[in-house]
Amino acid sequence: MTRFEGFGPGVREWFAGLEADNSRAYFSAHRPFFEESVRGQMAALLTELSDTFGGEVKLFRPNRDIRFSANQPPYKTNTYGLLLGTEIAPAGLYASISADGLLAGSGYHVMARDQLERYRERVADDRLGSELDRLVARAEKKGLEIWSETLATAPRGYRTDHPRIALLRRKSLALGARLEFGASDDGIGRADGLRFVTRIWRATAPVTGWLKEHVGASALSAGRRGR
């Protein structure tokens, strides 16, 4: 395994270049840098953290699926992966690097229909819903942001003045934070990167634990999970 050494000088510039010229010509010309300093370091980061958190590493491809969209840029402007099957977040611990910095988080990024039904029932419950409300508030006090698709109004069957309407309106629930590059473009060093991702993943654990216990995985087949 390659040791995680950080996302060094040039990583932010590489992504900025891809954003400006999202073409096969640019990507091919700079692919060695991507493989070693971007994708290689993301793989090393996740693999090293799997010694602490457990789970299996899954890296995502840099290519977008443009088969059904002729105007879609061919490459993603971030490189990201997951630790799947960990004790604190079976759905995955997430990390991503881009021109904006290093992002880390966890939660239920997408909920299937049966998960969403259970989630809303539990949120509406005074004991369980109040517990989640407190956990989310504590996470925000620790500097985490809530990432979520949200309905414009209350879901069907729930009052618009429900005391936890903000949680009920959510169609997903994930949270995390970002470590930005420094002004001098020295990159994000090994110690800073490992410390940041570890801290954020641990800070998400109370919420992901609540989701694991009270919502759980979907029991629907892939074709029936749409909302």
Output 25-33 pairs: Cβ under 8 A, ≥24 positions apart.
Answer: 27/62, 27/74, 27/75
Q: What is the CATH number of the domain that holds 190?
A: 3.30.930.20
Mean pLDDT of the chain: 93
In a domain, 38, yes or no: yes
Partner residues linked to 81 by β-bridges: 59, 95
Burial of residue 165 (number of CB atoms within 10 Å: 0-12, 13-18, 19+): middle
In a domain, 223, yes or no: no
Mean pLDDT computed over 67-90: 88
Res 66 pLDDT > 80: no
Query: What's the token pair of residue 125?
Result: 């419950």
Q: Which residues of 87-123 are buried (b: 16+ CB within 10 A; e: fewer)?
A: ebbebbbbbbbbbebbbbbbbbbebbebbbebbbebb
Does residue 66 or residue 113 have the better pLDDT? 113
> Residue 190: how many CB atoms within 10 A of its CB?
18
Q: What percentage of the chain has pLDDT greater than the value 70?
A: 94
**pLDDT score for 1:** 56
| Structure letter (DSSP) for residue 71 | T
131-190 tens-digit pLDDT:
999 999 999 999 999 998 899 999 999 999 999 999 999 999 999 999 999 877 789 999
For residue 206, what are the domain limits? 6-216
Query: What's the token pair of residue 165?
Result: 């309407």
In a domain, 31, yes or no: yes
In a domain, 81, yes or no: yes
In a domain, 35, yes or no: yes
**pLDDT score for 227:** 47
In a domain, 170, yes or no: yes
110-137 tens-digit pLDDT:
999 999 999 999 999 999 999 999 999 9
Res 90 pLDDT > 90: no
Angle at 143 between CA 139 and CA 144, to 5 degrees: 55
In a domain, 210, yes or no: yes
**pLDDT score for 122:** 98
Q: What percentage of the chain has pLDDT greater than the value 90?
A: 87
Mean pLDDT computed over 55-84: 89
17-54 tens-digit pLDDT:
999 999 999 999 999 999 999 999 999 999 999 999 99
Q: How many domains does the chain have?
A: 1
In a domain, 224, yes or no: no
For the CA atoms of 148, 92, 116, 221, what is the dihedral angle to 10 degrees?
A: 130
Q: Which of 10-24, 33-47, 56-70, 74-88 has the lowest mean pLDDT?
A: 56-70
CB 38 within 8 Å of CB 30: no
Q: Tell me the three-class secondary structure of 119-166, residue by residue.
A: HHHHHHCHHHHHHHHHHHHHHHHCCCEEECCECCCCCCCCCCCCCCHH
